[in-house]
Amino acid sequence: MCGIVGYIGEKNCVPILINGLKRLEYRGYDSAGIGLIENGNSSIIKNKGKVSVLEETVSTLNLHAGLGIGHTRWATHGIPNEINAHPHSNEKNTLFLIHNGIIENYQTIKKGLQNLGYNFKSDTDSEVLVHLIDSFLTKDYSLSKSVQLALNEVEGTYGIAVIYQNEPDKLVVARKGSPLVVGLGEHENFIASDVSAILAYTKQVVYLDDGELAVVSKDGFTVKTISDKEIEKEIHEISISLEEIDKGGYPHFMLKEIIEQTESVRNSMRGRLLVNEGTAKLGGLADVVDRLVNSKRILISACGTSWHAALVGEYMFEQFARIPTEVEYASEFRYRNPIIEKDDTVFLISQSGETADTRAALHEAKNRGALVLGICNVVGSTIARESMAGVYIHAGPEIGVASTKAFTSQLIVLALITLLVARKKSLSTSEGKKITDELQKLPDKISEILKLNDQIEQIANEFKDSKNFLYLGRGYNFPVALEGALKLKEISYIHAEGYPAAEMKHGPIALIDENMPVVFIAPKDSTYEKIVSNIEEVKARGGRIIAIADDADGEIDSLVDYVIKIPRTIEMLSPVLNSIPLQLLAYHIAVIKGLNVDQPRNLAKSVTVE
């Protein structure tokens, strides 16, 4: 899992590979390496740790090559070390391979190869694949044919790039379940797992689909299926700019992306709100809207932060569209033989559009005849292409591993879909206009919240040494409690739990003492009086209370130790605003602790393996 980049052409590929790997660092990794072939010579340089260590090593070697591949690894099989890092090679050091994914039957293949005399250096499943390809090369098959034959024996997922000293005019790539793109240039071509790695060199790309293999030369490419059927591929123009994936003067991508929410929320709504009609227009759903409106049930499948957004969506769909809605962990969805009917609609939410478990849920729902709709951020991603229809959230590139602006944009899109469906059912124009009016006001209200950054940093300094946190919310803001706790866990490594506030008495209250910070999401909505009661219970037990409250709330100040007051909005949209102070709180605690907020340990931005 993690990052792939490759080059074939007339330039020295070494700086291109290193720069590409730097662009992929945000995805999370534990080791890095490059493999080069030039004039009958081949070399691999790899190490445990950061790309900067690799760059320093490479800078002392005066390397030059027109063909090369690079990789950042996030460990699945085998510990993070230099031996397990990619690229992997055959025993002659003439064949190099990098691999994202998991080869599920690698042990069986490995035994067969050992019986043929192959020796293994690493603990990875990926090394098995390079030796398997080599076993076909020894039978005088070409590189592309050897890759094809090897992949037909493989079970699992892969995004691979392979180069061979005896065929230095080509770079072979293939994918199944792990993203790959081919970037097109003049007398040079590129490959990558993420367009960010090659955006500095080209904006024209071809997306590979599952079961496809591409042979890339400096002057062109061909694509065929693993079963040997040739395919014509469409060339896409990348719309994002290099500036969008830079820090822009901020110390961290995460802070930049929190600040960008004023614009990302606006962009998620741009051109979609019909304010005078009190509804929304979503071109991506135009062909399926009648089927969506008449759905007997909605299921939403997602992972992590996207799952929390889905929970808010459940409240929205049921309150306004009056359609029974269920939220499923994508990682559990297909393993429990779910009941899915042809008049169900299944939404898949994924920032990257590549999440392995969410893609698997998509296939399960599609196979059972449901209407399958994607909610993604990355244009051209697999879920976006494989869904029957869908909506892009238009949050812009999100580089920080801990999702911030994608979460709030997902909430906006779920609100727009709810508005569209509800207005086509029974929601009145006047009620619809209340929602559209409040949606329009959100960017300005987010700007007001961001002005509280210094106050939130001071609160963070008070709690930087805490070992545990409890986050409590009700109704629409219970998922916000979950998301706030997740943000803190992800980047500060402080144990935190989110609960419905009423559930506190069913167990978590036993944990509360003077050392336990408790964060309450307490807007003046339909649950306010109940939340105040819960605050009193925590206060009586000595808990230290931080509240997120409405700026007009004058009574909560005396009940809590710290209060962050933010602009009020309608109940269904309150999660958009309430989540932002929690993002800033987590961010500042992690920064004060001296942690890498953009690349938290053990985490990857896009989880492309199960």
Evaluate the omega torsion of the peptide bond into residue 87 and state whether it is cis, within 30 degrees of 0: yes
Max Cα–Cα distance, the chain, nearest Å = 81
Residue labelled with tokens 């209407």: 371
Catalytic member of 48, 50, 489, 605: 605
Q: Distance (Å, rounded) from C-alpha 48 to C-alpha 545?
A: 42
> What is the total residue count of the chain?
610
The yes-or-no answer on residue 176 being catalytic is: no
Q: Distance (Å, rounded) from C-alpha 368 to C-alpha 382?
A: 19
Number of C-beta neighbours around residue 570 at 10 A: 16
Residue labelled with tokens 């900067």: 52
Q: Distance (Å, rounded) from C-alpha 170 to C-alpha 55?
A: 25
173 Cβ neighbours under 8 A, 6+ residues apart: 6, 159, 160, 161, 162, 180, 182, 191, 208, 213, 214, 216
Catalytic member of 2, 13, 303, 376: 2
Q: Do 241 and 248 contact (CB within 8 A), yes or no?
A: no
Give the C-alpha distances (Å, rounded to integers) separating 415 from 393, 410, 419, 475: 11, 9, 6, 16
Residue labelled with tokens 């409890």: 470
34 Cβ neighbours under 8 A, 6+ residues apart: 14, 17, 18, 21, 44, 45, 46, 54, 58, 68, 69, 70, 71, 87
The yes-or-no answer on residue 13 being catalytic is: no
Q: Do 420 and 288 contact (CB within 8 A), yes or no?
A: no
Residues annotated as part of the active site: 2, 605
